[in-house]
Amino acid sequence: MKQSITIHINGEKVQRDVPDDLALIDFLQEDLGLTGTKLCCGIGVCRACTVAVRRTPQSLPQPLLACSTPAVLLDGESITTIEGIGQPAQLDRIQQVFLDHFAFQCGYCTPGFVMATHMLLERLRLAPIPETQLDAVIADACGAHICRCTGYVRYYQAIRALVVAEKGLLQ
């Protein structure tokens, strides 16, 4: 069966008829040509396929695993993918700090880490934390993400540097 859905993806309204069992990642990649969200494990463990979903316009973005979530469940919601973060000619500060800290090797997990960091920054803007809690908060936001090249230390160092450098995220 197919259902008609309307989703806002990276600020653009998208309306399509999609099969009930079509995974969000397949919808993004095959129907919309948004190939930045990566399929790695396919079972929601590695988190390379993480996108940000807002259930309401006022809510904080929440991580969503695109490989294991049917697109039809997102009717009426807003999603940000890696393509919604920065532009090829102008990287987002998250992408730039990852480059500056040599945070990744193969880069396959990077979209998931960028999205996790993006959501972390949004949470910290609304509820700054003491710097003494920062390492634990980074681990909570990114600890479930798998990097097969073991770049965790550099990712965490980059995220830490970004949070410390930005005004208003720490108390």
Q: Are 53 and 99 in contact (CB under 8 A)?
A: no
Q: Does 27 reside within a domain?
A: yes
Containing domain of residue 17, as a range? 2-84
Element (H, E) at 17: strand 12-19
Six token digits for residue 164? 């410390």
Inter-CA distances, 15 with 25, 38, 70, 111, 155, Å: 16, 23, 15, 25, 36
Q: Does 43 reside within a domain?
A: yes
pLDDT of residue 12: 97
pLDDT of residue 104: 85
pLDDT of residue 142: 95
**Domain shared by 57 and 114, yes or no:** no
Question: Could you tell me which residue, 151 or 31, shows the higher pLDDT?
Answer: 31
Q: Does 170 reside within a domain?
A: no
Say which CATH number the domain at 18 has.
3.10.20.30
Q: Are 98 and 113 in contact (CB under 8 A)?
A: yes
Q: Which of 51, 84, 117 is the last residue of a domain?
A: 84
**Domain shared by 45 and 98, yes or no:** no
- Looking at the chain, the whole-number percentage of residues with pLDDT higher than 70 is 100
Q: Which of 84, 110, 145 is the last residue of a domain?
A: 84
Query: How far is 126 from 59, CA to CA, in rounded Å?
Result: 11
The arithmetic mean of pLDDT across residues 146-161, rounded, is 92
**pTM, whole model, 2 decimals?**
0.94
**Domain shared by 68 and 109, yes or no:** no
pLDDT of residue 81: 98
Q: Does 159 reside within a domain?
A: yes
**CA Rg value for the chain:** 16
Q: Does 171 reside within a domain?
A: no
**Domain shared by 102 and 120, yes or no:** yes
Q: Which of 41, 63, 84 is the last residue of a domain?
A: 84
**Domain shared by 58 and 97, yes or no:** no
Q: Characterize 112-147 residue by residue with b for buried, 16 or more Cβ atoms within 10 angstroms of its Cβ, and e for exposed.
A: bbbbbbbbbbeebeeeeeeeeebeebbeebbeebeb
The arithmetic mean of pLDDT across residues 9-33, rounded, is 97
Predicted confidence (pLDDT) at residue 148 exceeds the cutoff of 90: no
Q: Per-residue pLDDT tens for 84-140?
A: 998 878 999 999 999 999 998 888 999 999 999 999 999 999 999 999 999 999 999
**Domain shared by 132 and 105, yes or no:** yes
Q: Does 71 reside within a domain?
A: yes
Say which CATH number the domain at 155 has.
1.10.150.120
Q: Per-residue pLDDT tens for 35-66?
A: 999 999 888 899 999 999 998 888 999 999 99
pLDDT of residue 53: 98
- Total structural domains in the chain? 2
